[in-house]
Chain A
Amino acid sequence: MDLKLGHYNKDGIEVVDVEGEIDVYTAPRLRELLIDLVNKNNYQLVVNMEKVEFLDSTGLGVLVGGLKRVRAHDGSLDLVCTQERILKIFRITGLTKVFGIYATVDEAIAAKRAEK
Chain B
Amino acid sequence: MATVEVSFTPLPAHVRTARLVATAVARRSGVDEALLDEVRLAVGEACSRAVEAHRRHCPAEPVKIEMTDAGERFVVVVNDAATGDAAAGPGVSPGGSGNGTVEGQAAPPASPARGADDEGSATPPGFGLAMISGLADDVRVLSTGSGMSIRMSWPSAAAG
With most chain B CB atoms within 10 A of its CB, the pick from A23, A35, A62 is A23
B138 interfacial by beta-carbon distance below 8 Å: no
Q: A23 near B131 (CB under 8 angstroms)?
A: no
The verdict on A25 contacting B13 (CB below 8 Å), with A57-B48, A89-B41 known, is: yes
Q: B120 near A60 (CB under 8 angstroms)?
A: no
Q: How large is the interface on A (under 10, 10 to 19, 20 to 34, 35 or more residues)?
A: 20 to 34
Q: A92 near B135 (CB under 8 angstroms)?
A: yes
Q: How large is the interface on B (under 10, 10 to 19, 20 to 34, 35 or more residues)?
A: 20 to 34
Residues 8 to 25 of chain B near chain A (Cβ within 8 Å) = 12-13, 15-16
Contacts of A27 in B (CB 8 A): 115-117
CA distance A31 to B128 in the complex (A): 18
Q: A66 near B120 (CB under 8 angstroms)?
A: yes
Q: Kindly list 10 other residue pairs between chains A and B, CB separation below 8 angstroms, not including A25-B116, A31-B117, A67-B122.
A: A24-B48, A24-B116, A28-B117, A54-B44, A57-B131, A61-B117, A65-B119, A66-B120, A88-B37, A92-B131
